[in-house]
Amino acid sequence: MITGGVGWGDLGSKAMSYSERPAARPGVVLWRSGPDPSGPKPALILPDGCLDLMWDGARLLIAGPDTTAHLHVPRGDEDFTALRFGAATGPAALGVVASEVADRLVPLEDVWGARKTAMLEEQVAAGGAAALEQWLRDAPEPGDSLGARVFGMAGAGLPVAEIADQVGFSARQLQRRSKELFGYGAGHLVRVLRLQRALARARAGRPLAEVAADTGYYDQAHLSREVRALTGSTPTALL
């Protein structure tokens, strides 16, 4: 069991720039963030069913899957290079149970131990993103396709009962395995990925009532309640 951890608030107080691209393995994204010259701009980090391995210039950290949105206020000089693991690819690669790091920022050393972590940190300190991707190429992969299948069906908006039927699990089995792979149950994963689909459509200029109908909400009011529950904001303010 992992104990301790680092609060997001410990990471700082100014703005950040951000970029990302596909990494060396399907389902994984390499991202970079650094100081933003435009001035302080806290970032609302939305839940997405993923976990990250982050290099902050001094140590490696695991950012567990977020249950709800949280506000990150960056430090002026912080500079992250990181891998974001989607579709349940992270637990196998990092050797961690997702539910043990959900809503937490945990030093990799707490999971791997000091010696193994120090070896990778030395490589990343010298080689940056290239070293992270080289580690990723050699890292363990999931032993089966369950995580990718559940993530894909949840992302398509299938009901939990149908997902369980498709993978041959009982509802309880699916709940347990989903927590191990995503940090929370399949029902919450469906909600999180539905929110991501809705926001993508809304950002493209679609009316919110149309977005709600197309992405599986009962109506626009239901969409607004879910946005509030998962992000603490309204759809308009969030956009």
CB 200 within 8 A of CB 106: no
- Total count of residues recorded for the chain: 239
pTM, two decimals, is: 0.89
Distances 130 to 23, 37, 138, 169, 181 between C-alpha atoms, Å: 10, 26, 13, 39, 26
**Model confidence at 11: pLDDT above 60:** no
Mean pLDDT, to the nearest integer, of 177-200? 97
Say which residue the tokens 């991501």 belong to: 196
pLDDT for res 74: 72
Residue 13 — very low, low, confident or very high, per pLDDT cuts 50/70/90? very low
pLDDT for res 16: 53
pLDDT for res 222: 97
Distances 50 to 77, 101, 143, 157 between C-alpha atoms, Å: 25, 11, 18, 17
Mean pLDDT score of the chain, rounded to an integer? 91
| Token pair in block for residue 196 | 């991501």
What is the Cα 188 distance to its own chain's centre? 13
> Would you identify the CATH topology of the domain 146-238?
Arc Repressor Mutant, subunit A (1.10.10)
**Model confidence at 106: pLDDT above 50:** yes
Helix (H) or strand (E) holding 85: strand 80-85
**Model confidence at 50: pLDDT above 80:** yes
Q: Which is nearest to 88 in space by CA: 162, 163, 152?
A: 152
DSSP3 helix / strand / coil % (the chain, rounded to 5): 50, 15, 35
| Token pair in block for residue 92 | 């196998």
Mean pLDDT, to the nearest integer, of 107-121? 98
CB proximity list for 188: less than 8 A, separation 6 or greater: 67
**Model confidence at 3: pLDDT above 80:** no
pLDDT for res 230: 97
Which sequence spans correspond to the domains of the chain? 8-138, 146-238
pLDDT for res 73: 80
pLDDT for res 82: 97
Mean pLDDT, to the nearest integer, of 158-174? 97
10 Å CB burial of residue 5 (0-12, 13-18, 19+) is middle
